[in-house]
A and B are shown apart, each in its own frame.
Chain A
Amino acid sequence: MLKAKNITVKRGANTLLCGVDAVAKPGELLVIAGVNGAGKTTLLRVLSGEIAPSHGEVFWDAAPLKSLKSREMAKMRAYLSQRTTCAVAFRAIEIVRLGVEASETFAQGDTDAETLAIAALELCGVGHLQERLVDTLSGGEQQRVHWARVIAQLGGQSSASLAGKCLLLDEPISALDLAHQHEMMALARSLVERGCAVIAVLHDLNLSAEYGDRMLLLGNGSVVAEGSPREVLTPAIIHTAFGLRARVEANPVSGSPCVFVERNARGPV
């Protein structure tokens, strides 16, 4: 549904992305991984339509992304950024209501919008924080409130099908503890099962293998490897992408590939 073809992004003298292809498919969770500065966020922003590529084009179904109105796109595609700061003293429920309003699925009434917002907050395990001012919440709690906002934008808190919708997540679990990391990835998984296309930038390769259907490994603005976690997570590819010596074994609990890294004895070179 969302397809990026031969994307190149240049900013001044720097090439951030060079000839990258990426596809989001309904009912699939695609993980984008790679070292810092590899172009993961840039690719996600290109896919969202926020920045226009220097070469190449992004398509939503058959239509070029740039021909679509942002208000129409907002009903089909939501974007969770790495860090979101709020300029004013909004409460958690007011933040999530912004997502509900963007979805334009509610009848024009505050109670409806609030009911939908509360359902999204509860889905993300932060229903009890709905009345709190967002800047008094911890980093992880704030991140889950914004999860609730993007889920509300896609209508993910109701039981409707999410076919034709796409969720872009930029490091969506960076502030979360271990339990909540798994909780939110399982939530992303459940959206995928309902037909949503999800693209997530993740740093944790083992979580990627556990929850992802497909992986796109970026390095220095180009694709290093693409395929199922089993195809991508090999010692040779990990060495190319991260410069690390690693072993890959089956996770004894789940059977997914699990990466074990040799300790770095030298520090940065």
Chain B
Amino acid sequence: MARALVASLGWRTRPRLLVIALGLASIAILFWSVGSGAMAISWNEILDSLWNAYGREGHRNDALIWNLRLPRILMGFAAGGALGICGAALQGLFRNPLADPALIGVSGGGALGAAFAIVLGVPKFLAGIPLLSLYSVPLAAFAGAFAATALVYSVATWQGQVQVATLLLAGIAINAIAGSIIGWFTFMATDAQLRELSFWSLGSVGGASWESLAGSVPFVAVALFLLLFYARPLNALALGESNAKHMGAPVESMKRGIVIATALAVGAVVSFTGTIGFIGLVAPHLFRLVGGPDHRWVLPGSFLMGGCLLCVADVIARVAAIPAEIPVGIVVSTIGAPFFLFLLMSEKKRNGG
């Protein structure tokens, strides 16, 4: 029935409605996530705490909501959103629905940076700088993500032009190199470091705080703003680079802009959450299934879709094994991958092939 309803809407209406629906769903999911967890909180209590917490002491939900749940939920939404919109932009750039932020080295570089910081620690000559030891892992991960992406980008640049096919291959090569070095770190690590390392690679928003939000959300906001400007040029790029150029699309600056936005936004969130795969691939795909391929809707839609997906996954991660908490990366891949496969198969059946 849902499918018939969707089909009865015109293809022009569907993407607009879906973006609006996702916007409303985002708000609902954010509220629902605040209330869910090892200790359930009712909507009234949530609203009370949101409006009245400032300046009062000792109310039982305030600390839980403001210090633990809100930061992690907002971090989850920002991370999912960043992965979603960057995935959509990269799929447009590569003209390939299989592209994903991991492809240009962001995730591999981030993981390498994190492994470096976890296993080797802060170098002695930097140890005196305040906050550095506290945030050594995210800082190293962010630096690694950015450095790896910059390396991939410079390998693919020739005479001022970026070869998109080389960008893809260079990304695979850099990811492989990062993987091999991580392997060496894993081999060198102590048992405690090993545990930290593997938890980082599973991904979790559990460690989020207002400080980590302040360190990542600005990057996500800048990337969101920048990428939304590329909606029309990305549409033109669907006809190939030369056609896009003939239609006046700023192809070269767009390549640069998308890669930089991805390195900043995904690098910033992944450095705090650890590797979270799959959302960047699936969120744009889910949107296009109903909303069609026009990037003016796919880009904002993938942001909202990615945010919703990761928030829901995080709720499941928190409540599925109370009192333990499952890393959200496992939840995303455990539920997301089979669901994605199911969608692909039902899509195949519907198209009669």
CB proximity of B249 to chain A, nearest CB, Å: 8
* A89–B293 CA distance with the chains assembled, in angstroms: 6
Establish whether residues A102 and B238, one from each chain, have CB atoms under 8 Å apart when the complex forms: no
Which residues of chain B are within 8 angstroms of A99 by Cβ–Cβ distance?
247
* A76–B288 CA distance with the chains assembled, in angstroms: 33
Produce 1/0 per residue, A76-94, CB < 8 A to B: 0111010011111111001
* A87–B96 CA distance with the chains assembled, in angstroms: 7
Establish whether residues B239 and A98, one from each chain, have CB atoms under 8 Å apart when the complex forms: yes
Establish whether residues B232 and A50, one from each chain, have CB atoms under 8 Å apart when the complex forms: no
Establish whether residues A81 and B242, one from each chain, have CB atoms under 8 Å apart when the complex forms: yes
Question: Cβ of B348 < 8 Å from any Cβ of A?
Answer: no
Question: Cβ of A75 < 8 Å from any Cβ of B?
Answer: yes
Interface size bracket, A side: 20 to 34
Question: How many A-B contacts at CB < 8 Å in the complex?
Answer: 70
Question: Cβ of B14 < 8 Å from any Cβ of A?
Answer: no
Question: Cβ of A74 < 8 Å from any Cβ of B?
Answer: yes
Query: Chain A CB within 10 Å — which of B12, B235, B239, B246 has the most?
Result: B246
Establish whether residues B243 and A74, one from each chain, have CB atoms under 8 Å apart when the complex forms: no
Question: Cβ of B342 < 8 Å from any Cβ of A?
Answer: no
Establish whether residues B95 and A87, one from each chain, have CB atoms under 8 Å apart when the complex forms: yes
Closest B residue to A77 by beta carbon equals: B246
Which residues of chain A are within 8 angstroms of B247 by Cβ–Cβ distance?
74, 78, 98-99, 101-102, 153
Produce 1/0 per residue, A57-87, CB < 8 A to B: 0000000000000111111011101001111
Q: Which of B237, B248, B294 contacts A94 (CB 8 A)?
A: B294
8 Å CB interface, A28-75 against B? 45, 48, 50, 70-75
Question: Cβ of B23 < 8 Å from any Cβ of A?
Answer: no
8 Å CB interface, B196-251 against A? 232, 235-240, 242-243, 245-250
Which residues of chain B are within 8 angstroms of A84 by Cβ–Cβ distance?
239-240, 243
Question: Cβ of B336 < 8 Å from any Cβ of A?
Answer: no
CB proximity of B235 to chain A, nearest CB, Å: 6
Which residues of chain B are within 8 angstroms of A81 by Cβ–Cβ distance?
240, 242-243
CB proximity of B12 to chain A, nearest CB, Å: 8
CB proximity of A116 to chain B, nearest CB, Å: 15
Say whether, besides A89-B292, A91-B11, A98-B235, A74 and B246 are in contact (CB < 8 Å). yes
* A98–B246 CA distance with the chains assembled, in angstroms: 11
Question: Cβ of A95 < 8 Å from any Cβ of B?
Answer: yes
Establish whether residues B96 and A70, one from each chain, have CB atoms under 8 Å apart when the complex forms: no
CB proximity of B300 to chain A, nearest CB, Å: 16
Which residues of chain A are within 8 angstroms of B248 by Cβ–Cβ distance?
70-75, 102
Q: Which of A78, A85, A110 contacts B246 (CB 8 A)?
A: A78
Which residues of chain A are within 8 angstroms of B232 by Cβ–Cβ distance?
101
Establish whether residues B242 and A71, one from each chain, have CB atoms under 8 Å apart when the complex forms: no
* A89–B245 CA distance with the chains assembled, in angstroms: 20
Establish whether residues B236 and A70, one from each chain, have CB atoms under 8 Å apart when the complex forms: no
* A79–B249 CA distance with the chains assembled, in angstroms: 13
Establish whether residues A86 and B239, one from each chain, have CB atoms under 8 Å apart when the complex forms: yes
Closest B residue to A131 by beta carbon equals: B11
Which residues of chain A are within 8 angstroms of B239 by Cβ–Cβ distance?
84-87, 95, 98
* A219–B294 CA distance with the chains assembled, in angstroms: 43
Closest A residue to B296 by beta carbon equals: A110
Closest B residue to A95 by beta carbon equals: B239
* A79–B247 CA distance with the chains assembled, in angstroms: 8
Produce 1/0 per residue, B282-307, CB < 8 A to A: 00000010001110000000000000
Establish whether residues B238 and A71, one from each chain, have CB atoms under 8 Å apart when the complex forms: no
Say whether, besides A50-B242, A98-B235, A98-B236, A88 and B250 are in contact (CB < 8 Å). no
Query: Chain A CB within 10 Å — which of B237, B242, B250 has the most?
Result: B242
Closest B residue to A85 by beta carbon equals: B240
CB proximity of A148 to chain B, nearest CB, Å: 13
* A102–B242 CA distance with the chains assembled, in angstroms: 14
CB proximity of A105 to chain B, nearest CB, Å: 13
Establish whether residues A87 and B238, one from each chain, have CB atoms under 8 Å apart when the complex forms: yes
Establish whether residues B236 and A102, one from each chain, have CB atoms under 8 Å apart when the complex forms: yes
Binding site for A on B (CB under 8 A): 11-12, 92, 95-96, 232, 235-240, 242-243, 245-250, 288, 292-294
25 A-B contact pairs sorted by A residue (CB < 8 Å): A50-B242, A50-B246, A70-B245, A70-B250, A72-B248, A73-B248, A74-B246, A74-B247, A74-B248, A75-B248, A84-B243, A85-B239, A88-B92, A88-B95, A89-B293, A90-B235, A90-B293, A91-B11, A98-B235, A98-B236, A99-B247, A101-B235, A101-B247, A102-B248, A153-B247
- Supply 4 further A-B pairs (C-beta < 8 A) apart from A74-B246, A85-B240: A70-B248, A86-B239, A98-B239, A102-B248
The 5 closest A-B pairs by CB, nearest first: A74-B248, A87-B95, A88-B293, A102-B247, A71-B248
